[in-house]
Structures are given as structure tokens and as C-alpha cells.
Amino acid sequence: MIVAGGAVYTPEGMREVDVHVRGGRIERLEPWTHPRAAPEVVDATGLWVLPGAIDAHVHGRDPGFPEKEDFGSLTAAAAAGGVTTVLDMPNTLPGVADAPALETKRAAIAGKAAVDYGLWGLLRSSSTAEQVRDLAAAGAIGFKAYLGYSVQRSTGQVLYTPGGLDPDLEPPASYGTIARLAAALAESAVPVAAHAEDPSVLLSSSARVETYADLLGTRPAIGEAVAVAAMGALAANLGLRIHIVHLSSQAGLEAALAGRAAGAHLTLETCPQYLWLTDYARLGTVMKMYPLIKTVDDREALRAALLRGDIDNVGTDHAPHTDEEKLRHPLAEAHAGSPGVQTLLLSCLELARQNGEALAAVPWVTEHPARIFGLYPRKGTIQPGSDADLVLVDPNRRTQVKADAMLSRQRRGVLEGQEFGFVIRAVYLRGEAAAPGRGEFLRPA
Ligand code: NCD
Ligand code: ZN
Ligand code: ZN
């Protein structure tokens, strides 16, 4: 196949070249004037040809919660949004805390996956070094510690509560868990990620919740700052690579930058919701997610950090629930999490466009996550030898986000109604259309 006549995003900048694809990989880039002899020539005139996006933070809910999402609906939504690689979080059922659970999950999702995928491993407070080593050998893309989320021992389900006295609830993985397992984690060479909200801050802040301001009082930014500072200390002292997911506050950001300045190997992810929104009155409970979307000042600080390169990647924390769980409860009981994978690429391009250069967004969702997770240069770049994951974008047409067009099971997301100055025209996964069962399991290199 040849993708012909487009403006191609390459490591050397935008180039007027054709992309020659063979066997699912990029074979070579040739000037537009080079002869175009191939069984299939795709006309990309007037379009941008970008590397397929990587969403390093999705909750596909499979196996375990098909009423919220499954790997078929997740990856259909991803492909429609130009996301050709997803890294799926381990709070499926059972939590992916050992190699057998990872293998069970692989078997459950393989036939449904329409895009390529990597799988996160779960750290439990009961995790052993052997489980960490076996998960790394099984191909876990990283290890996730949900500080503040307990695990139900009988089912292996991760619950959004620190637990308490219920003997069936295992206390959350903690800073101590990470320190105890540091040797095995460092040896695995993949990032250790934390849901960085300090459990002791959350427990001390609990109060009655009626308004969004009340909710913010229960999960304040200081919880993120404290947890990020602790993760920085773990990284600096124990030689770990730590990845902070869904960074949501200026205080958390400043703690991360201080950790880096002190020598910690910290990489940072934020999400479109923290870069766009603060408007609870308009969005209602759809906007409830952990960490909470905070203030305009937090949003501006995160935007500035992303634009100057202090934040490494944007993932979505795509976390669908049923309409019943999201919309038919008061704020205190509505489930936390909302979908986003389908709007990742366009929302990032739009944000960067508003700052003057749309293409500045491309590394946030391609090269940077590919490098963090050991997928570069197979993924995240357009160069000879890389997978032919290509997204054709029309920069002269607009897309408005509408629930009807969303393929995730939770159709109404937080970017509902937003307009982006781009349209996705075509998406290729290793040179062909994305389709259920075509997605492959990715191991970190
Ligand atoms: C996530 C979920 O529902 O799995 N929810 C959320 O509010 N972000 C869990 C998480 O990422 O912490
Ligand atoms: Zn989280
Ligand atoms: Zn998440």
C-alpha cells in the first residue's frame, strides 16, 4: 500500500512524502514525485498523516464488567479516534496482580481487540517479588499502585475505597509496598505508576457531599501533592522509574518538578479533562472522576507545563460506567470515571492549535508514551521499520463531540459538545483497517 500525497509527520518534521507500507510496516518514505506502483494507493492529498496515537491509560473493563465496557467497544472507540495502541489498566476482574491473571485477561480480550494493546500489572499490598517478576516476564507494560483503593480478597476486585475494618478488604498498596518490592520492580525495568492521591489525606478530609465544592473538599489537591512527593522520594532513593498518571493539580505538578530537580526519574501524564474543564454546573455527575477535576488555576498550570514540555504524555483515563451508575445517583454515590479514548487525539490537536501549533500535540500521544513504555520505535513514529499505524487527519474541517457518535458503552463523556478543528478521515493499524481480533498484544522492548 502507498499513502500518497499527504503531509507526513516524521522525526525530521512534516515532509511531503508518500508512505510505502509492506507487511504491516513502513517500508520507506518517498518524495511525492516517486512512481506509485502498489496494489492500493490511498489518496491523502490535503491531509496530515500522523502516527497512530497511544492511549497509555484506559480501563477496558474486560474481563469483569461488560455492562460498562468490553475490549470490543473500547477498541472500536479507540480506532475511531485514531488511537491504534491502548495500554489497559489492571483493575479488571480479578485484578491483574499475577501472571495467571494477565494470561486469563489476554485470552478474554484477544478476539475482541481492534487495536494493539499492552497490559498493566497491579500491585497489591500482598504482592510478592516473585509475582512482580512473573508479571514482568508475562509482558506487563508497567505496574500500577492504587494508593487508596483496596482489593476484595475473595474476588480480586479493586474497590475505590481504602477499606477499613472489613476483613475481606485487603488494604491498598502503599509507599511501603513499593519500597518492599523495589528490587524486583527495578529489575523489571518498566515504569511503576501510582494513582497519586494520599490515602491519609483522603481519610482525614471526608465530609458530607452535596455540592461539587464539597466533593473537592474530600479529595483536595494537597492529597496529590503529598503522594507525588512520596513517589518522588521512592524514585530518587530506590532507583525506580515512576510514572505519575492523571496529574490533576498545580500542587501535584510542583511536587513532581521538585522531585525531578532532586534527581527522581519521574514521568508525568495528564488527561484532556484536566486540560479543558472546570464546569460542574454544565456537566453534572459525568464530570465525577478521581482525581477530581479541580480549578481554573490548576487547569492553566497543567496546560502551561504540557506546552513547555514538563508533562510527558496525555492519556485519557478512559473509565466508563453504566448510565445508571453515572447519571442516576446523587454526586456522593455516582461512580467516578468517564470515557475519553475516542476524543484523545483531536482534543490534544485542538489544545495545541489554540496555543499556535497543532502539531506540537503529536508527541504527547505518540513518541512520548511509546518511549516511556518501551514501544519506541515500533510505535509512536513514522519511519522505516515502524508499524504502519497511520491516522489521516483533515486540518480544514471541524468535529463536534456528540454522544451519538461515540462507540464506548458510556457514550456521554466530559468533552460532549466541544468542537475540534480537525476530522479523522482514515485509520490504519499495521497497514490495514482496525477490526475485532486484529489487535496484537504488545510487550515492552
Ligand atoms: C477509574 C476507574 O473507574 O477504573 N476511575 C476514575 O475515576 N479515574 C480508576 C482510576 O483511574 O483511578
Ligand atoms: Zn487512578
Ligand atoms: Zn485510571
**H or E stretch at 2:** strand 2-4
For the chain, what's the residue count?
445
Distance CA 27, CA 431 (A): 11
- Mutation test residue for ligand 1: of 57, 160, 287, 409, the one with most atoms within 8 Å of CB: 160
Distance CA 330, CA 333 (A): 6
Rounded to the nearest 5°, which phi and psi values hold at 439?
Answer: -65, 140
**3-class secondary structure, 123:** strand
- Mutation test residue for ligand 1: of 58, 89, 273, the one with most atoms within 8 Å of CB: 89
Strands 150-152 and 158-159, how do they pair?
antiparallel
Residues flanking ligand 1, CB < 6 Å: 59, 91, 195, 289-290, 317, 319, 336-337
Local confidence band at 334 (pLDDT 50, 70, 90 cut-offs): very high
CB-CB neighbours of 293 under 10 Å: 25
Could you tell me the distance, in angstroms and rounded to a whole number, from the CA of residue 214 to the centre of ligand 2?
20
pLDDT digits (tens, 9 = 90+) for 368-389: 999 999 999 999 999 999 999 9
Residue 375: its pLDDT value, please? 98
419 strand-pairing partners: 400
**Closest ligand by atom to 337 CA:** 1
pLDDT at 206 over 80: no
Share the mean pLDDT of the chain. 97
pLDDT at 399 over 90: yes
pLDDT digits (tens, 9 = 90+) for 15-48: 999 999 999 999 999 999 999 999 999 999 999 9
Could you tell me the distance, in angstroms and rounded to a whole number, from the CA of residue 57 to the centre of ligand 1?
10
Residue 279: its pLDDT value, please? 85
Local confidence band at 3 (pLDDT 50, 70, 90 cut-offs): very high
Atom of ligand 1 lying closest to residue 337 CA: 7
- Mutation test residue for ligand 1: of 55, 57, 59, the one with most atoms within 8 Å of CB: 59
- Mean pLDDT of all residues in 236-264: 98
Within the chain, what is the greatest distance between any pair of CA atoms? 71
Rounded to the nearest 5°, which phi and psi values hold at 272?
Answer: -50, -40
Distance CA 12, CA 132 (A): 39
Atom of ligand 1 lying closest to residue 149 CA: 12
CB-CB neighbours of 38 under 10 Å: 15
Residues 6+ apart with CB under 8 A from 72: 112, 113, 114, 436
How are the residues of the chain apportioned to helix, strand and coil, as percentages rounded to the nearest 5? 35, 25, 45
Name residues with Cβ closer than 5 Å to ligand 3, which is an ion: 317
Residue 280: its pLDDT value, please? 87
- Note whether 259 and 266 are within 8 A (CB): yes
pLDDT digits (tens, 9 = 90+) for 163-197: 778 999 999 999 999 999 999 999 999 999 999 99
Is residue 274 packed enough to be buried (19+ CB in 10 Å), middle (13-18) or exposed (0-12)?
Answer: buried
Please, what is the end-to-end C-alpha distance for the chain in angstroms?
A: 27
**Closest ligand by atom to 57 CA:** 3
**What does the block give as the cell for 304?**
502551561
- Please confirm whether the linkage preceding 35 is cis (ω < 30° from 0): no
Q: Side chain identity at 392, as an amino acid letter?
A: L
Rounded to the nearest 5°, which phi and psi values hold at 128?
Answer: -110, 160
Residue 203: its pLDDT value, please? 86
CA-closest residue to ligand 1 atom 6: 337
